[in-house]
Amino acid sequence: MTQAPSDPVSGPEPTAWRDWSELAAAECVKVPGADDDKYTRGVLGVVTGSAEFPGAAVLGVEAAVRTGLGMVRYLGPRRPSRLVLQARPEVVTVAGRVQAWLIGSGMNSATRTESAGELLAHALDDGTPVVIDAGALDLVGRVTGPAVLTPHAGELATLLTAAGFEVDRRAIAAEPERWAETAADSTGCVVLLKGRVTHVCSPLRDGVRTAARIEAPSSWAATAGSGDVLGGVVGAVVATHADEAGDPARLVALAATGAYVHAWAADRASNRGPIAALDIAAAVPRIIARLASGSAD
Ligand SMILES: NC(=O)C1=CN([C@@H]2O[C@H](COP(=O)(O)OP(=O)(O)OC[C@H]3O[C@@H](n4cnc5c(N)ncnc54)[C@H](OP(=O)(O)O)[C@@H]3O)[C@@H](O)[C@H]2O)[C@@H](O)CC1
Ligand SMILES: Nc1ncnc2c1ncn2[C@@H]1O[C@H](COP(=O)(O)OP(=O)(O)O)[C@@H](O)[C@H]1O
């Protein structure tokens, strides 16, 4: 999974992409112990949703809660806040300390309100680990702590074009490894590029890069809101291991575990038939339980 230091004469070795296994994912699932409380388990701050896309807030929060963590703090406009509380009364909608942030799902950078901009700036400014999706990807230059970007190919094309690369969605789909690596190097963040095969990699540092891939067992997860659910799962896994997120190899492991859980939850929910995004979130606890118990059922 981790690339050896590069040879100064022949240049960097091609990245070794590790297929993320059940064993590797199981190692990133935290089971609460007797001394744990809701704060030690990890609190995820969520700044997602908008008047345009309130449902994305519900989907991400639902998925985070289902993944298992101490608490979710949701901060957003009135309508998504109301919907989030209707779906999940356990969510807290007042500001406070968090171990990680999930931002951007269900937001549109072109129509961002001033108050949304302030919440996003707050999440990005204090060095807390952050998962950045959809309508917050344009703020990648403001990152101050460990960060995972979760673009689909269209969003990655927009991000790379803004950084001066000539690339479109089709080119990224044709060479996802190359463009995920380029984006990681250009932004300094871990990049999780979504698709039937999801690619997760760290920036190259001192000749070392960590890279993992997750091939979904089917394509039923290609449905509206599925990526919003993924954001919640990855956010929860990072929040429960926030003290490790400063190590790029660990951050890749945590993000890859989120993608693994999402892909297999979709498979479990689908049972070879169609699914909605919320069905994926509902199946997440069974995948976490399987990983936590080490049993393959
Ligand atoms: N219920 C809710 O609240 C939901 C809320 N949602 C929220 O909606 C927001 C918009 O997100 P979005 O991905 O739908 O559109 P957007 O980023 O504007 O795409 C721009 C262009 O990119 C391309 N493209 C699109 N998808 C692609 C893909 N998978 N893989 C590759 N390429 C893809 C395509 O370009 P084209 O094919 O035309 O070249 C498209 O025109 C976002 O905040 C999200 O969280 C959604 O999650 C749905 C449920
Ligand atoms: N063909 C596919 N097969 C399996 N999973 C897919 C496929 N296409 C997309 N996905 C997964 O579905 C999710 C879609 O995310 P995204 O494109 O952000 O959708 P949305 O914005 O509607 O939530 C991602 O987790 C991605 O990996």
SS3 sequence, 152-195? CHHHHHHHHHHCCCCCCHHHHHHCHHHHHHHHHHHHCCEEEECC
Give pLDDT tens digits for 216-251.
999 999 999 999 999 999 999 999 999 999 999 999
Closest C-alpha among 76, 174, 163, 156 to residue 120: 76
Q: Report the pLDDT averaged over residues 273-288.
A: 98
Q: Report the pLDDT averaged over residues 131-157.
A: 98
Tokens at residue 294, please? Answer: 């080490």
Q: Which of 50, 53, 103, 150 to mutate to test the pocket of ligand 1 (most atoms within 8 A of CB)?
A: 53
The ligand 2 atom nearest the CA atom of 223: 22
By DSSP bridging, strand 100-103 and strand 43-47 are parallel
How many CB atoms sit inside 10 A of residue 175's CB?
A: 12
Q: Report the pLDDT averaged over residues 68-93.
A: 98
- For 216, phi and psi rounded to 5 degrees? -70, 145
Helix or strand or coil: residue 125? helix
Predicted pLDDT at 106:
98
**Residue 62, in any domain of the structure:** yes
Residue 175: CATH number of its domain: 3.40.1190.20
Predicted pLDDT at 3:
52
Q: Write the CA distances from 174 to 112, 241, 270, integer angstroms.
A: 32, 33, 27
**Residue 3, in any domain of the structure:** no
- For 272, phi and psi rounded to 5 degrees? 70, 20
Task: Among the bound ligands, name the one nearest to the CA of residue 223.
Answer: 2
Q: Calculate what percentage of the chain has a pLDDT beyond 70.
A: 95
**Residue 68, in any domain of the structure:** yes
**Residue 165, in any domain of the structure:** yes
Predicted pLDDT at 11:
55
**Residue 13, in any domain of the structure:** no
The structural domain count of the chain equals 1
- Residues touching ligand 2 (Cβ under 6 Å) are 152, 194-196, 198, 216, 219, 221-222, 224-228, 230, 262
- Is the Cα dihedral 168, 216, 180, 52 positive or negative? positive
Give CA 295 to chain center in angstroms: 25
Task: Among the bound ligands, name the one nearest to the CA of residue 226.
Answer: 2
User: What is the rounded CA–CA span in Å between residue 183 and residue 293?
Assistant: 36
pLDDT of 94 > 60? The answer is yes
**Residue 11, in any domain of the structure:** no
Q: Report the pLDDT averaged over residues 157-163.
A: 98
pLDDT band per the 50, 70, 90 thresholds, residue 297? very low
Task: Among the bound ligands, name the one nearest to the CA of residue 109.
Answer: 1
**Residue 5, in any domain of the structure:** no
Residue nearest (by alpha carbon) to ligand 1 atom 26: 154
User: What is the rounded CA–CA span in Å between residue 213 and residue 55?
Assistant: 28
**Do residues 200 and 177 make contact, with C-beta atoms less than 8 angstroms apart?**
no
The boundaries of the domain holding residue 243 are 18-293
Tokens at residue 277, please? Answer: 């995004």
Q: Where are the beta strands (DSSP E) in the chain?
A: 18-19, 43-47, 71-74, 100-103, 130-132, 147-149, 190-193, 197-201, 211-215
> How many angstroms separate the alpha carbon of residue 49 from the centre of ligand 1?
14
> How many angstroms separate the alpha carbon of residue 189 from the centre of ligand 2?
21
Residue nearest (by alpha carbon) to ligand 1 atom 8: 106
Residue 237 per-residue DSSP state: H
**Residue 12, in any domain of the structure:** no
Q: Calculate what percentage of the chain has a pLDDT beyond 90.
A: 93
- For 11, phi and psi rounded to 5 degrees? 90, 180
User: What is the rounded CA–CA span in Å between residue 96 and residue 161?
Assistant: 36
**Do residues 58 and 46 make contact, with C-beta atoms less than 8 angstroms apart?**
no
Q: Report the pLDDT averaged over residues 59-88.
A: 98
Dihedral angle computed from the Cα positions of residues 36, 258, 223 and 270, in that order, rounded to the nearest 10 degrees: -80
Residue nearest (by alpha carbon) to ligand 1 atom 34: 154
pLDDT averaged over every residue in the chain: 95
> How many angstroms separate the alpha carbon of residue 176 from the centre of ligand 2?
14
Amino acid letter at 80? P
Q: Report the pLDDT averaged over residues 72-101.
A: 98
